[in-house]
């Protein structure tokens, strides 16, 4: 079917789910017109180079590690929080490089992961009803009328916090901090007490050995060993914000979303005729789409035609998130549908979002073992279907939080109270994330 002409605002002609209701359209318009004039946060060059990397991942030559908070918050725009997140992603990437013998493409859920879909527009506690918290880009989490007020000024704050975060990441990635010759710079304070410390150190020793070997061969000073490339991603949920950062660039044709390298469409907003798919079909970025139980082969084929009509490699990521108990039932059909249609898809497993449970005392949590089981099954199913699992997508943090159950330290339900900090979904803490990476390579390496 021929689609009508696309422009950055054409999504506004569609029904668009999960958008906040702004009390004043004029106040919103004023903020958006400011945002439109502010510089982009990333460049089309970076976006295109990520697309090349993702194409390599879809061929099995590289592996995507995507991870970060479920929801970033403005208060966490602080050096220790950003640095710790970078450290854990760098450490995990070292483990994966070593075990999978592939280069690893690092993409944070960072520098813009500020808008969240919610199951209801409002929340009622003790007879008081207020708008739901929709992420720091929209309102604040505390249950007060002032905090929950939907405030367009937050779009500008979100843009600034994303810019500050990205600036810090760029500075760190470009200097000695990211030097592969000194992975000890990435050790976190509590690392030395961690049950995984020795296994990780062995990985580092092996890699250092390989680096020395390269040096003897005369290629040890290759510049890409002293800096790392680090990309950003977030759910492209708040379409007024995404539209305001959608730009044309002088040397390329078409539009780019320059608020992030890799925006994705969430599971709840992946309606074929809805505003999100309409917006995403017009941008040149690589794009992710979350895929879960209930998607039909017709939807799959239509979505691919809409989002990647040229069948460009590295352009479209299917991030599947079925849950450990359902992946076996659903994933094979999905893989076969895409394979039979001859379409280029980069397959990513998100083992987090299909495995969320609520404890008796009301904590939203996930079990380490369920996460690992879904991942292991994903590798297995791709292998037996002859497709390639090109990467993983985690909710994690570089801090010592207690949000997911299990792992080597045996985090239990009662332990969750110690440091349960997430405002939305539970994240792997630093040790659990490291352990997850080691578990992946133990099975796949």
Binding residues (CB under 6 A) for ligand PEP: these are 70, 117, 235, 266-268, 290, 321, 353, 425
Pair of tokens at residue 287: 């794009």
Identify which of residues 120 and 126 has a Cβ nearer to ligand PEP in the complex.
120
Q: How far is the CB of 264 from ligand PEP (least distance, A)?
A: 8
Identify which of residues 403 and 425 has a Cβ nearer to Co ion in the complex.
425
- Distances from the Cα of 236 to the Cα of 59, 113, 272, 274, 282, angstroms: 26, 9, 15, 13, 13
| Interface region with Co ion, contact rule CB under 5 A, candidates 132-140, 243-251, 407-415, 423-431 | 423-431
- The length of the chain in residues reads 445
Distance from C-alpha of 417 to C-alpha of 399, rounded to nearest angstrom? 15
Identify which of residues 97 and 235 has a Cβ nearer to ligand PEP in the complex.
235
For helices 25-37 and 153-173, angle between their N-to-C axes, nearest 10 degrees: 30
Distance from C-alpha of 387 to C-alpha of 275, rounded to nearest angstrom? 31
Identify which of residues 51 and 116 has a Cβ nearer to Co ion in the complex.
116
Identify which of residues 304 and 349 has a Cβ nearer to ligand PEP in the complex.
349
Identify which of residues 148 and 321 has a Cβ nearer to ligand PEP in the complex.
321
Q: How far is the CB of 117 from ligand PEP (least distance, A)?
A: 6
Of residues 260, 231, 232, the one with CA closest to residue 245: 260
Spatial neighbors of 410 by CB under 8 A, at least 6 apart, are: none
Q: How far is the CB of 350 from ligand PEP (least distance, A)?
A: 6
Distance from C-alpha of 23 to C-alpha of 440, rounded to nearest angstrom? 48
8-state DSSP, 39: P
> Choosing among ligand PEP, Co ion, none, which partner's interface includes residue 276 (Cβ < 5 to 8 Å by kind)?
none
Q: How far is the CB of 233 from ligand PEP (least distance, A)?
A: 10
> Choosing among Co ion, ligand PEP, none, which partner's interface includes residue 290 (Cβ < 5 to 8 Å by kind)?
ligand PEP
Identify which of residues 240 and 320 has a Cβ nearer to ligand PEP in the complex.
320
Report the relative pairing of strands 287-291 and 316-320 from DSSP bridges: parallel
Pair of tokens at residue 352: 């987090």
Question: Quick check: 425 binds Co ion (CB under 5 A)?
Answer: yes
Q: What is the 3-state secondary structure (H, E, C) of 195-251?
A: CCHHHHHHHHHHHHHHHHHHHHCCCCCCHHHCCCCCEEEEECCCHHHHHHCEEECCC
Q: With CB under 5 A, what is the number of residues at the site for Co ion?
A: 2
Measured from each CB, the residue nearest to ligand PEP is 266
Q: How far is the CB of 79 from ligand PEP (least distance, A)?
A: 24
Identify which of residues 130 and 265 has a Cβ nearer to ligand PEP in the complex.
265
What is the three-class DSSP state of 122?
A: strand
- In which residue are the tokens 């359902």 written? 326
> Choosing among ligand PEP, Co ion, none, which partner's interface includes residue 53 (Cβ < 5 to 8 Å by kind)?
none
Q: In the set 41, 64, 65, 70, which binds Co ion (CB under 5 A)?
A: 70
> Choosing among Co ion, ligand PEP, none, which partner's interface includes residue 117 (Cβ < 5 to 8 Å by kind)?
ligand PEP
Q: How far is the CB of 264 from Co ion (least distance, A)?
A: 12
By CB under 5 A, name the binding residues for Co ion: 70, 425
């Amino acid at each position: 079917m021929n689609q009508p002409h696309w422009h950055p605002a054409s999504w506004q002609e569609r029904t668009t789910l999960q958008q906040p209701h702004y009390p004043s359209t004029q106040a919103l318009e004023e903020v958006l017109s400011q945002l439109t004039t502010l510089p982009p946060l990333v460049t089309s060059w970076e976006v295109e180079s990520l697309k090349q990397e993702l194409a390599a991942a879809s061929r099995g030559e590289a592996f995507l590690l995507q991870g970060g908070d479920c929801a970033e918050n403005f208060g966490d725009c602080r050096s220790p929080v950003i640095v710790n997140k970078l450290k854990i992603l760098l450490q995990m990437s070292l483990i994966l490089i070593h075990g999978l013998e592939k280069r690893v493409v690092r993409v944070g859920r960072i520098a813009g992961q500020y808008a969240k879909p919610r199951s209801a527009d409002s929340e009622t506690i003790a007879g008081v009803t207020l708008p739901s918290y929709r992420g720091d880009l929209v309102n604040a989490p505390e249950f007060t009328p002032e905090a929950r007020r939907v405030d367009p000024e937050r779009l500008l704050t979100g843009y600034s916090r994303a810019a500050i975060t990205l600036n810090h990441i760029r500075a760190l990635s470009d200097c000695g901090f990211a030097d592969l010759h000194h992975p000890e710079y990435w050790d976190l304070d509590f690392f030395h007490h961690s049950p995984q410390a020795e296994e990780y150190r062995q990985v580092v020793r092996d890699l250092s050995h390989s680096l020395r070997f390269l040096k003897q061969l005369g290629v040890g000073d290759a510049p890409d060993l002293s800096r790392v490339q680090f990309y950003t991603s977030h759910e492209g949920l708040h379409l007024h914000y995404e539209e305001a950062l959608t730009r044309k660039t002088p040397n390329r044709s078409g539009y780019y979303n320059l608020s992030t390298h890799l925006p994705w469409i969430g599971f709840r907003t992946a309606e074929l005729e809805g505003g999100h798919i309409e917006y995403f079909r017009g941008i040149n970025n690589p794009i992710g789409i979350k895929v879960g139980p209930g998607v039909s082969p017709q939807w799959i084929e239509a979505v691919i035609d809409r989002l990647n009509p040229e069948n460009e490699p590295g352009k479209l990521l299917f991030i599947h998130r079925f849950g450990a108990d359902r992946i076996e039932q659903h994933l094979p059909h999905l893989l076969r549908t895409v394979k039979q249609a001859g379409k280029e898809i980069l397959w990513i497993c998100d083992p987090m979002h299909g495995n969320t449970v609520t404890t008796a005392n009301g904590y939203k949590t996930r079990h380490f073992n369920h996460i690992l089981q879904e991942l292991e099954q994903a590798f297995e199913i791709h292998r037996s279907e002859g497709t390639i699992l090109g990467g993983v997508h985690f909710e994690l943090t570089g801090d010592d939080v207690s949000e997911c159950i299990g792992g080597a330290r045996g985090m239990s339900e009662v332990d969750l109270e110690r440091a349960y900090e997430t405002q939305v979904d539970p994240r792997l803490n630093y040790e659990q994330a490291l352990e997850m990476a080691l578990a992946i390579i133990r099975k796949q390496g």
